[in-house]
A = this chain, B = another copy of it.
Amino acid sequence: MKNTFGQCLSVTLFGESHGEAVGAVIDGIAPGIAVDKNEIERQLSRRRPSSALDTTRVENDEFSILSGVFEGRTTGTPLCIVIKNGNTKSGDYTYGVARPSHADYAANVKYHGCEDYRGGGHFSGRITAALVAVGGILLPALEKKGILIGTHISQCGKEKDRDFDNILNDIVTLKNASFPVLGEDAQERIANEILAAKNSLDSVGGATQTAIYGLPAGVGEPWFDSVESVLSHALFGIGAVKGVEFGLGFGFAPANGSRVNDPIRTEKGRVWTETNNNGGINGGITNGMPVVFRCAVKPTPSIAKEQKTVDFIKNENTTITVGGRHDPAIVRRICPVIDSVAAIAVCDLLAQRYGTDYLAGEEPVCSSV
């Protein structure tokens, strides 16, 4: 469905980098969920450029909710949230010279030159602001149901963060972190990688690790709507994500079953596994353990170094030195985006499994207030 994701709870994205606004429509959300504008602002601030590590484009992310919220709570009908664009410098972009590894050329073929090319148009990371705003509504709702989601930078350049350990504690740590890492010295080491890239007019890639805590067992489907299918579908919607692995992921390739099969244990009716190499999913269905996955994040394509490319209007070879304002790495700013995308997928899976009202199940019905 192109720019819409989700079967029971769905999100539709719209907007271009230098257009009037970016935004999203959430449909199928349970009625009665508290919508806290501070929480939306808090999520947006996590994604916002904030330091020497990020682009110098200033984004105020002034948003308004056009529909679907009444007296501070979701109505259950479509919620449209719009974030105005500002501080755009369209002069920085010239049409026809494709930025390597960016969507410019592919978009030109697909849209026959009708695409809004300014700042990457609809392909810009700017659109992820709308995803993060959606997360500002869904993440607190999930938390009230005991489901918490957190993402940290697991790698950037040659530096790595430690893996999730005590997942609940780690997620709480990340919620309040200005820099989303878990290990003690990880921030400094990773920040240095990013600064090194910046200083050499370059960019650097990375990887993230996400944990979803509190998902009940029995969610998801075998085959085409496995939890892995649904999550990866949503995650690969983010332009910079080029790999997704669950649990041990590619770490399974060299391993023996006897070493990586997760031993199952039970006590007082509770069932768990001693290890969680399967990332909380067996046969496409949650097993009650935390869902854990990693995303590969490619380096920002736009760099100030000269690169070989083509001018697809003139049909000739040329070079490009990308001006404009760009992030030397997006692995930090992508963390709240991944949290939000995961929240969307999880809310949809829960709505499929338990019906429309699940997410607001503990909330008082509004008319009784």
Contact = CB atoms under 8 A, between A and B. Distances in A.
A282 interface: yes
Interface residues of A, number: 165
A154 to B, nearest CB: 8
B258 A367 contact: no
A66 B158 CA distance: 41
A171 interface: no
Contact of A13 (B74, B207, B223): B223
B4 A27 contact: yes
10 contacts: A2-B221, A8-B8, A32-B111, A103-B282, A105-B282, A197-B256, A205-B254, A230-B233, A242-B246, A250-B294
Given A103-B283, A310-B264, A1 B67 contact: no
Contacts of A5: 223-224
Nearest to A243: B245
A239 to B, nearest CB: 5
Contacts of A100: 261-264, 273
B242 A237 contact: no
Contacts of A298: 248, 252, 255, 260, 278
A1 B277 CA distance: 27
B244 A232 contact: yes
A216 to B, nearest CB: 8
A354 B352 CA distance: 9
A207 B253 CA distance: 6
A155 B366 CA distance: 42
Interface in A273-298: 273-274, 277-279, 281-288, 294, 296-298
Contact of A207 (B20, B104, B109, B250): B250
Contact of A300 (B16, B257, B271, B287): B257
- Count of chain copies: 4
Given A23-B66, A100-B273, A353-B356, A250 B76 contact: no
A86 interface: no
Interface in A191-205: 197, 200, 202-205
A136 interface: no
Interface string A74-85: 111111101000
Nearest to A153: B253
A247 B257 contact: no
Given A121-B77, A256-B204, A279 B217 contact: no
A115 interface: yes
Contacts of A103: 222, 282-285
Contacts of A351: 355
Interface stretch (A37-45, A141-149, A313-321): A313-321
A274 B244 contact: no
Contacts of A357: 112
A287 to B, nearest CB: 5
A44 B308 CA distance: 45
Contacts of A121: 70, 75, 77
Interface string A340-369: 000000000001111111101000011111
Interface string A107-128: 1111111111000011100010
A85 to B, nearest CB: 10
Contacts of A214: none
Contact of A2 (B112, B223, B255): B223
A211 interface: no
Given A8-B352, A232-B244, A203 B256 contact: yes
A125 to B, nearest CB: 11
